[in-house]
Amino acid sequence: MLRTELRTNSAKHSNILIIAFMLTLLSLSIFIHFRLKDYAYDDAYIHFRVVENLTQSGYPYFNEGEAVNVSSSPGWTMYLFLLMNLLKFLGFRFQLPSLVAVNNSIILLTGAFVYSSLLYRISKIKRSLWFYICFFIAYLGLCAPSSIGLMETVSALLIVGIAFHALFTKRKISITLFCIAIFFRLELFVLFALVLIFILYKNYFSFFDVILYSLFGFLPFVIYDLFYFNTLIPNTVNAKSITYSLTILESLADLFSKLFDYLFLIPNFEQLAKYYLIYFLYLPMLLISVYILYMRKNYQKGFNVGDHISIILFFWGIIILLSYISQQIKFFSWYIPLISVPLLTVCGYTLTTITSTTSYRIFKFFSGG
């Protein structure tokens, strides 16, 4: 009886500490976002201008009367438009940078919690709370620059994270959420295709349900683009790859320079990145991820839902990474989370599957034994 009471008190104490921790982080996040809102990325102000013009004139154009689709994120444009007008209706008045600063500060922390809980959900071996806190902090480090820069990436990732939770519990709304995410970041079409392959291969939902719930996600944005621009292809699709044409090695150096700046706060890492060793930083963990999944396929009757989600995450990160590198583009801060978050989650998943037995098998595999 006494032991049960002690456990209950300990659980309550832990919950209080977690709530206090989250509230402290939220306060700090809002403070940082708000103080640095004047240093938002240029692309963020493009979205702001489009939203303001949509509010004032009813047309989402950058310049009045010019039906040019300068935004590749119609979902973000519509979300900000609806949010701003809802707050105005309720009597609140915000400048868009201030509104997005508060919005992103909340979404950044919510996304970290959603992906930490997703990692816990798909984990076969539950690790200590500190393990998931470390993952939580790593997520913040990877996503904070794009969030503080008032970009839409953290919102896209949050939608995807919620969609994965819905997919885990076999809810059809997950299909719609994956569709919506595409219209926040076009690169997420890769993820949607991977999810569709999984759903159809595993007969998760009927083909009719897949079509129906996909239309729920696609139609509003398709109608929006066709009505205002008569095209589904944004004018900016090829702009950055043309303006910032780099060699493959320069593109890789730029990527890993930013990764280390975000994760470890190492300044001027670009010079070290050019020595190529850094290119292999994530490779061992990714190889271990693939190998462990392969071992699980041979020692179990098949993959469970958590295994499949980790596979989707793995190929999501790898395919987008390879597509960016093949285009030889400059890695902007809002590109980084679309690669690093899924691969970080896969690495976290790998660590939760490693036991003393699998560690021995990995050692034998790499030692040639």
> Can you tell me the distance from the alpha carbon of 56 to that of 42, in angstroms, rounded to the nearest whole number?
21
Which amino acid is residue 320, in one-letter code?
I
> Can you tell me the distance from the alpha carbon of 293 to that of 325, in angstroms, rounded to the nearest whole number?
26
Residue-level pLDDT at 2: 46
Residue-level pLDDT at 4: 53
Residue-level pLDDT at 311: 86
Enumerate long-range contacts of 94-101, CB under 8 Å, 24 or more apart: 96/48, 96/51, 96/52, 97/37, 97/38, 97/40, 97/44, 97/48, 97/150, 98/34, 98/37, 100/37, 100/40, 100/44, 100/48, 100/150, 101/30, 101/33, 101/34, 101/36, 101/37, 101/150
Asked whether residue 287 is assigned to any structural domain, the reply reads yes
Q: Most distant CA pair in the chain: distance in Å?
A: 74
- For residue 264, the SS3 value is helix
Residue-level pLDDT at 252: 66
Residue-level pLDDT at 14: 65
pLDDT tens string 231-274: 777 766 655 545 556 666 666 666 666 666 655 544 444 444 44
The position carrying tokens 């090695």 is: 249
Torsion sign, CA atoms 63, 69, 71, 74: positive
Residue-level pLDDT at 209: 93
Which amino acid is residue 116, in one-letter code?
S
Asked whether residue 6 is assigned to any structural domain, the reply reads no
Q: Which residues of 150-181 are buried (b: 16+ CB within 10 A; e: fewer)?
A: bbbbbbbbbbbbbbbbbbbeeebebbbbbbbb
Residue-level pLDDT at 330: 73
**Domain tally for the chain?**
1
Prediction pTM value: 0.84
Asked whether residue 198 is assigned to any structural domain, the reply reads yes
Pick from 167, 168, 164, 143: which is nearest to 155 by CA? Answer: 143
pLDDT tens string 144-153: 989 999 999 9
The position carrying tokens 């794009």 is: 146
Asked whether residue 268 is assigned to any structural domain, the reply reads yes
Which amino acid is residue 168, in one-letter code?
F
Q: Which residues of 300-316 are buried (b: 16+ CB within 10 A; e: fewer)?
A: eeeeebbbbbbbbbbbb
Asked whether residue 31 is assigned to any structural domain, the reply reads yes
295: alpha, beta or left? (left if phi > 0; alpha if psi -120 to 50): alpha
Asked whether residue 264 is assigned to any structural domain, the reply reads yes
Residue-level pLDDT at 277: 45
Alpha helices by DSSP H, listed for 36-95, are 42-57, 74-89
Pick from 114, 192, 118: which is nearest to 349 by CA? Answer: 118
Supply the DSSP string of 305-334, one letter for each residue.
HHHHHHHHHHHHHHHHHHHHHHHT----TT
> Can you tell me the distance from the alpha carbon of 185 to that of 237, in angstroms, rounded to the nearest whole number?
11
Torsion sign, CA atoms 94, 100, 105, 110: positive
Residue-level pLDDT at 231: 78
Asked whether residue 8 is assigned to any structural domain, the reply reads no
Residue-level pLDDT at 247: 67
Retrieve residue 269's tokens.
């890492």
Range of the domain at 76: 14-61+71-367
> Which ranges of the chain have pLDDT less than 50?
1-2, 6, 241, 265-280, 356-357, 359-360, 362-369
Asked whether residue 7 is assigned to any structural domain, the reply reads no
The mean pLDDT of the chain is 80
> Can you tell me the distance from the alpha carbon of 121 to that of 109, in angstroms, rounded to the nearest whole number?
18
- For residue 151, the SS3 value is coil
Which amino acid is residue 332, in one-letter code?
F
